[in-house]
């Protein structure tokens, strides 16, 4: 039996991969314009990093990690997300010692052991941004504006940013008590996961997708009810800045992101989806995380988005522009001597940057011209035994169907001149 790719992974073939490249180019472009630099961290890390950095009570750490022992009996995990690794790199490379803030972005594969029937991938891809070393609301506003701007440039429809403040440890302690008071009489009706969350992290009950839990938490006290003065001021300023940047946003007090290290700002970007809105980006402030992974107390904020999700949204709103691989010239060589002479010509043209192909199968004239048609080449240059002896080559304009004979020695200069004219036009 033929070997198949692992469940939950995908082969990105030509025809599809161009859409990915388009999105990746847009991402790199906007990051450069906003002054964010790329960071590339390892695909696997010590398991402990994610236990500490993502939080031991989260589903990611409890159920979804690809963890293995390496040959030295160390527990390693394929990265399930990007933020913990970026914070680890920030600490390990002492980036906190240089100019602040450090504005970084990453793109690449992430790994989670998800049930394949849920339509999710086990190897999926994320783009994310992290700003470390700055705690002012203007940083939060810049990060949100970057993703807002990206989605608008992509032409996504029905965009809306949802923001909330989940407070800090001080105001969250008060909220926790109020929330537990509210939930106490309802506790036994909550789902099994939420019953466990009740003691450790009741805030996450507000985030539960179980319909019963959602109903039971209607009217529950939100973190906005108990924000301390500092958190309240931060949230107010953030909203003013978002308005100033003309970002369409809405305060959503039920938006509590599932990870333990979030502080103050939490946000999502929603997009029009089939029949409803759905989130295609999530992020927030995580002022406690760098310390959690062994660094100095450092504020941080970031977001991550699933590339697959954004591409799906892009398809709904008209899609990425079609990009195709296209030859300018197809060199049609007939016979062994013509082939080796043709290969020399093609090599020289490629050095000059011309998109050019030569037949690799020893096909007939007809088959080679058909192939040239398929790649939508502008010209075919036909070289056979007879042309070689006369020192000429036939240049056929495939769009107009016209052809002319030119001296073999003049071909390169002639074609390059036409190419430059066509590129300019
Ligand atoms: Zn607070
Ligand atoms: Zn629940």
The closest ligand to the CA of 227 turns out to be 1
Q: Look over the chain and give the mean of its residue pLDDT values, rounded to a whole number.
A: 92
Name the strand (E) or helix (H) holding 237. Answer: helix 229-244
Ligand nearest to the CA of 59: 2
C-alpha distances (whole Å) from 93 to each of 36, 39, 89, 166 are 18, 12, 6, 30
| % of the chain beyond a pLDDT of 90 | 77
Cis bond leading into 207, ω under 30°? no
What's CA 339's distance to the chain center, in Å? 44
Name the maximum alpha-carbon separation found in the chain: 97
Under 8 Å between Cβ of 81 and 41: no
Ligand nearest to the CA of 165: 1
Q: What are phi and psi of 270, to 5 degrees?
A: -105, 150
Distance from the alpha carbon of residue 54 to the mean position of ligand 1, in angstroms: 21
Distance from residue 81's CA to the centre of ligand 1 (Å): 27
C-alpha distances out from residue 43 to 28, 40, 87, Å: 20, 9, 15
* Integer Cα distance of 410 and 144 in angstroms: 56
By DSSP bridging, strand 37-38 and strand 102-111 are parallel
Kindly identify the ligand whose nearest atom is closest to the C-alpha of 213.
2
Q: 139 CA to middle of ligand 2, Å? A: 33
C-alpha of residue 200 to centroid of ligand 2, in Å: 14
- How do beta strands 263-272 and 160-165 pair? antiparallel
pLDDT of residue 288: 84
Instruction: pLDDT band for 272, please (50, 70, 90 cuts).
Output: confident
Q: Report whether 356 contacts 346 (CB < 8 A).
A: yes
How far from 198 is each of 56, 82, 121, CA to CA, in Å?
15, 28, 30
Residues with Cβ within 8 Å of 165's Cβ and at least 6 positions away in sequence, in order, are 223, 224, 227, 231, 232, 234, 235, 238, 264, 265, 266
Which residues, including other chains, have CB under 8 Å from residue 148's CB and lie 6 or more apart?
159, 161, 245, 247, 269
Give me the pLDDT at residue 65, please. 93
Tens digits of residue pLDDT in 367-404? 999 999 888 899 999 999 999 999 999 999 999 999 99
CA of residue 213 to ligand 1 center, whole Å: 26
Note the pLDDT tens digit of each residue in 16-75.
Answer: 999 999 999 999 999 999 999 999 999 999 999 999 888 777 778 888 999 999 999 999
Ligand nearest to the CA of 205: 2
pTM: 0.90
**Using alpha carbons only, how large is the chain's radius of gyration in Å?**
29
CB atoms within 10 A of CB 400: 8
Mind listing the pLDDT tens digit for each residue in 120-175?
A: 899 999 999 999 999 999 999 999 999 999 999 999 989 999 999 999 989 988 99
Q: Cα separation of 148 and 269, whole Å?
A: 8
Backbone angles phi, psi at 48, to 5 degrees: -60, -30
The residue behind tokens 């980036």 is 95
């Amino acid at each position: 039996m033929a070997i198949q790719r692992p469940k939950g992974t995908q082969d990105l073939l030509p025809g599809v991969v161009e859409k990915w490249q388009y999105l990746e180019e847009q991402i790199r472009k906007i990051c450069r314009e906003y002054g964010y630099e790329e960071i590339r961290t390892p695909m696997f890390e010590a398991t402990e990093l994610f236990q500490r950095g993502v939080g031991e009570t989260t589903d990611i750490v409890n159920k979804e990690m690809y963890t293995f022992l390496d040959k030295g009996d160390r527990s390693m995990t394929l990265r399930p997300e990007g933020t913990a690794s970026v914070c680890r790199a920030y600490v390990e490379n002492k980036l906190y010692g240089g100019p602040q803030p450090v504005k970084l972005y990453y793109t690449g594969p992430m790994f989670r052991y998800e049930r394949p029937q849920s339509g999710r991938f086990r190897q999926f891809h994320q783009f994310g941004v992290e700003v470390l070393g700055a705690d002012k609301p203007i940083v939060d506003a810049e990060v949100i504006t970057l993703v807002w701007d990206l989605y608008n440039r992509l032409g996504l429809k029905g965009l809306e940013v949802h923001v909330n403040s989940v407070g800090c440890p001080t105001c969250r302690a008060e909220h926790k008590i109020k929330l537990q008071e509210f939930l106490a009489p309802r506790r036994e009706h909550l789902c099994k996961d939420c019953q466990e969350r009740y003691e450790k992290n009741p805030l996450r009950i507000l985030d539960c997708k179980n319909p019963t839990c959602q109903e039971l938490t209607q009217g529950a006290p939100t973190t906005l009810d108990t924000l301390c003065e500092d958190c309240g001021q931060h949230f107010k300023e953030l909203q003013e800045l978002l308005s100033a940047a003309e970002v369409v946003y809405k305060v959503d007090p039920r938006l509590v992101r599932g990870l333990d290290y979030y502080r103050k700002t939490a946000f999502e970007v929603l997009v029009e989806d089939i029949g409803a809105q759905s989130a295609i980006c999530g992020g927030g402030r995580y002022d406690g995380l760098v310390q959690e992974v062994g660094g100095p107390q450092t504020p941080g904020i970031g977001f991550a988005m699933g590339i697959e999700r954004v591409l799906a949204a892009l398809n709904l709103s008209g899609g990425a522009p079609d990009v195709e691989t296209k030859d300018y010239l197809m060199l049609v060589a007939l016979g062994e001597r013509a082939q080796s002479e043709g290969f020399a010509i093609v090599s020289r043209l490629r050095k000059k940057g011309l998109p050019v192909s030569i037949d690799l199968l020893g096909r007939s004239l007809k088959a080679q011209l058909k192939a040239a048609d398929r790649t939508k080449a502008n010209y075919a240059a036909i070289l056979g035994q007879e042309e070689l002896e006369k020192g000429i080559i036939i240049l056929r304009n495939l769009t107009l169907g016209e052809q002319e004979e030119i001296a073999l020695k003049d071909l390169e200069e002639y074609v390059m001149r036409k190419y430059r004219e066509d590129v300019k036009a």
